[in-house]
Amino acid sequence: MRRHRNVKIVATLGPASDDYETIRALHEAGADVFRLNMSHGDHSEIRARHDIIRKIEADLGNPIGILADLQGPKLRVGVFANGEEELEVGDTFRLDLDEAEGDKRRVQLPHPEIFQALEPGARLLVNDGKIALRVKYCAADHAICDVIVGGTISNRKGVNVPDVELPLAALSDKDRKDLEFVCDLGVDWLALSFVQRPADVEEARGLAKGRASILSKIEKPTAVKNFDAILQVSDGIMVARGDLGVELPVQNVPPIQKRLIRRCRAAAKPVIVATQMLESMIESPMPTRAEVSDVATAIYEGTDAIMLSAESAAGDYPIEAVTTMDNVAREVESDPTYTEIIEASRAAKRSTVADGIVAAAREIAETSEIKAICCFTKSGNTAVLVSRERPRVPILALTPSERTARKLSLSWGTNCVVSDEIERFKGAVVAAARAARAENLATADDLIVVTAGVPFGVSGTTNILRVAPCDERLIFNTDPE
């Protein structure tokens, strides 16, 4: 199913989208990857959604990516004797490990790790930042705070600690069980929450044992600070603007988003922009103009994918939300300014033979009548390098690995086809010509660029490029190999 756009769409599944008909309609409307949110739904529900996606994939004959989003540790206050209390600016409020019910002066914070990391002056944000506390004094079992933003505090509200790196692992006991479950199911991507340091990613990778690619969610200031090191050990990135916008001043988020997208692209690793993209469509069939502009901005910046959360998981208009994203993406990508921005932001670093091959493929395609760049890839590396170039012509990725094809469904511009194993380059050229015609990317009278690595089946050996006709009779007549 060829998309008439390059940016990919990720749709979260949930109560509003957990049956075959709805999920298929979401895919046909434009969803390339489905997100399974491990914060909601038990394993039986997750398995049922996974099985439906794979059935749709088989019925339609095209690969679909699945991303399992791990919950991560959740930091919450305890409970109050009255259910809630009103805090006013200037009040003194105590957080401690005491299990007794809270009142206007104190409440339990059952996370000793937080007290270990706190220092005077650090902020604690409660209920998505609606209440802000500043630490005046702290010890191993409590902290005395000044209320700097007041409001209603109630049972088990979430706590953010933006100013310190917490000695907490990104994976809770629940996450480890969920990780093993979804890896056994066969998901393609694992989204890792609460990432603060490269070691968090490496722990998840060790547990996944190569069964899924690791995508790090950037949602904490410490992750932004350590981003280059985190990117190096990750397979992909999610700019998770929800918590990021709570823990940082909101005006800091747009430039961070732009910066992270460019770094991901330079590293040839897919990046998703997520959170509140079309949030009004949870209850409305039409988005706001600001939301449309937000989606468009992420596309202009060159992101690989844009994501829907509650809009498709629990909203009243899940299919309309995907359709809206698809329409915005098509309109943006047809704008000449989009091409100018994307090409102006193209990274010029070339350090390997593979970098040179894909850059040459893009340049040849854009200076001649080439209809598509066709790359053979076992691991997906060649395809993501071509994707990084953001060529003006379609990218056709052929791979004998169904798993690789599914993984590539997150990468900008890739049209994936599962092919037979190839032993010689001539066979690759013939298969590329046939696939380009079958996918309506070219006709028999057109030319394509074919890239591959010889010997076949060896990852990271992209070393050959050919301009070829899409008529295989001409290939056989002109190529003795």
Catalytic residues: 35, 76, 217, 275
243: exposed, middle or buried (C-beta count within 10 Å: 0-12, 13-18, 19+)? buried
Q: CA dist 182 to 69, 404, 479, Å?
A: 10, 17, 46
Half-sphere exposure of 388 (CA within 13 A, CB side): 27
Which are the contacts of 458, defined by CB distance < 8 A and separation ≥ 6? Answer: 378
Q: Tell me the C-alpha distance between 326 and 10, whole Å.
A: 11
CA dihedral of 417, 420, 422, 425, whole degrees rounded to 10: -50
At 153, list the tokens. 């505090």
Which are the contacts of 364, defined by CB distance < 8 A and separation ≥ 6? Answer: 370, 449, 465, 467
Q: Tell me the C-alpha distance between 412 and 302, whole Å.
A: 9
Q: CA dist 106 to 145, 148, 162, 275, 282, Å?
A: 10, 15, 21, 32, 36
At 150, list the tokens. 């007041």
Runs of H (alpha helix) within 104-197:
112-117, 173-185
Runs of H (alpha helix) within 334-418:
336-344, 353-366, 381-389, 402-407
> String of b and e for 89-108 (b: at least 16 CB within 10 Å)?
eebebbbbebeeebeeebbb
**Residues 49, 13 contacting (CB under 8 angstroms):** yes
Which are the contacts of 252, defined by CB distance < 8 A and separation ≥ 6? Answer: none
Which are the contacts of 128, defined by CB distance < 8 A and separation ≥ 6? Answer: 158, 160, 246
Which helix (H) or strand (E) segment holds residue 253: the answer is helix 253-266
DSSP state of 31: -
Q: Tell me the C-alpha distance between 192 and 217, whole Å.
A: 6
Beta bridge partners of 218: 239
